[in-house]
Amino acid sequence: MADATLLNQVKDFANRADPYPIYAKLRQNPVSHQDDGSPEGTWVASTHGAIASLLGDPRVSSETLPPADRPKTGNPVKDFLIKPIKDRITNQHRPFIFRDPPDHDSLRAAVMHQFTRERVQGMRARSDRLVEELLDAKRDAHRFDAVDDLAYPLPVTVICELFGVPREDEAQFHSWATQLATALEPDSLADDENRAENSRTFDAIADYMSGLIKDKRRHPKDDMLSGLANEATPEGVKMGDYDLIATSVLMLVAGHETTVNLITNGLLTLLRHPDEFEKLKADPSRAPRVIEELLRYEPPVQFRTRTTLSPIDIAGVTIPKGADLVLLLAAGNRDASVFPDPDTFNPDRVGSRHLGFGGSLHYCVGAPLARFEAESALTALTRRLKNPRLVEDPPPYRSGAALRGPQHLPVAIDGMV
């Protein structure tokens, strides 16, 4: 039997810098029941085969967010009239990554109708220019923070421009996104204070998006939000206001939070493997292979939560109906039955079937965007950083276990090329 405390060890911040030995222990049982302090415990899938099977199983639900329960204000009208209405609307119009078919499918189709290859690739050159501008600002520096100086400002600017968010409003999204990203952390969802703060933050960003959507309807432009607000898919799907707000919030938050981790984890890994740093510097065409291996080796999303709609027999155990389930993507990415020598960073490995972007119906919508932003950043960093050295190893990490990456990545340099 698996150690029933392993999931708690994964979530323990003390193990944030290196959870992979814990994942190896969990893989000894493809699916295990973990005593994480919740009333019924949590089931964890940790091998590649088990995770891939459950990702595509219709008996597994993504509707894992607890019911909305905004904090009371002390105002009777707001608390007993407005609050129940807002909570009901929130429950009925979750972001589509927390929805099951058919709602998930129709909302995702509407997004993909606007998130076209042409529109996304049109941002590629812009991403390259932004990277150069951000690095130019540190040209004479002798210390560089990969998070604050590049990995955060790049993707937030790209996703805001893609959606048509005014440049002067981009700064507002930092605190909003950081807070709302905690919705992916199981322990945060059980924290009443954090849930209350998430409610306040969601209402603030929703009010902002509501105003922006109205403006896009009056004065549409060539951006994704204008398209979503004004156009239907060929099948006639057009989002209502509440689904459009929830979708916009999701895209703006998820569209940069995960990419921050991908870029930062990428530079950290390359600096720990100076031979690979030099190979990428000498041959930027290696970038796609480097990115795919990073998505396997140090994925920005370590796990996702699900719940079961009926009992599921898998890997010799039965997961009961209504069970909390964790799909430990990062553990599956180190499964030796699929990836030979899995703990070695090897961009030249062949046939990688990593789970870095999830899979099945919920495969990451923004995968193409994240890939080329990371390519822009890492190829420029290897080319322009003079004699880079890690100031701290391991660096300070962000608190989250699900979205895992450094809070800061200080690098000593002798300047920029």
60: its two tokens = 């597994």
Whether 38 and 121 share a structural domain = no
Whether 286 and 311 share a structural domain = no
| pLDDT tens track, the chain, 417 positions | 568 899 999 999 999 999 999 999 999 999 999 998 888 999 999 999 999 999 999 999 999 988 888 888 888 888 888 888 888 998 899 999 999 999 999 999 999 999 888 888 889 999 999 999 999 999 999 999 999 999 999 998 999 899 999 888 887 777 787 777 776 777 766 677 777 787 888 888 889 999 999 999 999 999 999 999 999 888 888 888 999 999 988 888 877 789 999 999 999 999 999 999 999 999 999 999 999 999 999 999 999 999 999 999 999 999 999 999 999 999 999 999 999 999 999 999 988 799 999 999 999 999 999 999 999 999 999 999 999 999 999 999 999 999 999 999 999 999 998
Paired strand residues for 144: 411
Tell me what pLDDT residue 259 has.
94
8 A C-beta contact, residue 295 and residue 356: yes
Across 138-268, where does the E strand assignment appear?
143-145
Query: Whole domain around residue 270: which residue ranges?
Result: 100-301+356-417
49: its two tokens = 């085969």
Whether 249 and 191 share a structural domain = yes
8 A C-beta contact, residue 17 and residue 1: no
Whether residue 93 lies inside any domain: the answer is no
Count up the domains in the chain and report the number.
2
38: its two tokens = 């919740």
Alpha-carbon distance of 373 to 196, in angstroms, equals: 33
Whether residue 90 lies inside any domain: the answer is no
Tell me what pLDDT residue 75 has.
86
DSSP letter at 72? P
- Cβ partners under 8 Å of residue 226, min gap 6: 164, 216, 220
Whether residue 94 lies inside any domain: the answer is no
Q: At 239, is the secondary structure helix, strand, or coil?
A: coil
Tell me what pLDDT residue 175 has.
74
Whether residue 89 lies inside any domain: the answer is no
Q: Are strands 317-319 and 312-314 parallel, antiparallel or unpaired?
A: antiparallel
Residue 233, CA distances (Å) to 109, 110, 236, 243, 360 in order? 8, 6, 5, 15, 22
Tell me what pLDDT residue 351 has.
82
Look at residues 338, 330, 343, 254 and name the one whose alpha carbon lies nearest to residue 299: 330
Task: Report pTM.
Answer: 0.93
Alpha-carbon distance of 242 to 223, in angstroms, equals: 19
**Other Cβ atoms within 10 Å of 260 Cβ, number:** 27
Tell me what pLDDT residue 174 has.
72
CA 269 to chain centre: 19
Residue 297, CB-side half-sphere exposure with 13 Å CA sphere:
25
Tell me what pLDDT residue 79 has.
82
Q: Rounded to the nearest 10 degrees, what angle do helices 103-114 and 241-272 cross at?
A: 70
Whether residue 92 lies inside any domain: the answer is no
Whether 13 and 29 share a structural domain = yes
Whether 255 and 389 share a structural domain = yes
Whether 294 and 385 share a structural domain = yes
Whether 177 and 307 share a structural domain = no
62: its two tokens = 């993504």
**Other Cβ atoms within 10 Å of 143 Cβ, number:** 11
Whether 296 and 306 share a structural domain = no
Look at residues 140, 137, 156, 131 and name the one whose alpha carbon lies nearest to residue 382: 131
Tell me what pLDDT residue 125 has.
93
Whether 280 and 178 share a structural domain = yes
Whether 137 and 193 share a structural domain = yes
CATH number at residue 128: 1.10.630.10
CATH number at residue 18: 3.30.43.20
Based on its alpha-carbon atoms, the radius of gyration of the chain, rounded to whole angstroms, reads 21
Q: Reply yes or no: is the peptide bond before residue 394 cis, omega within 30 of 0.
A: yes
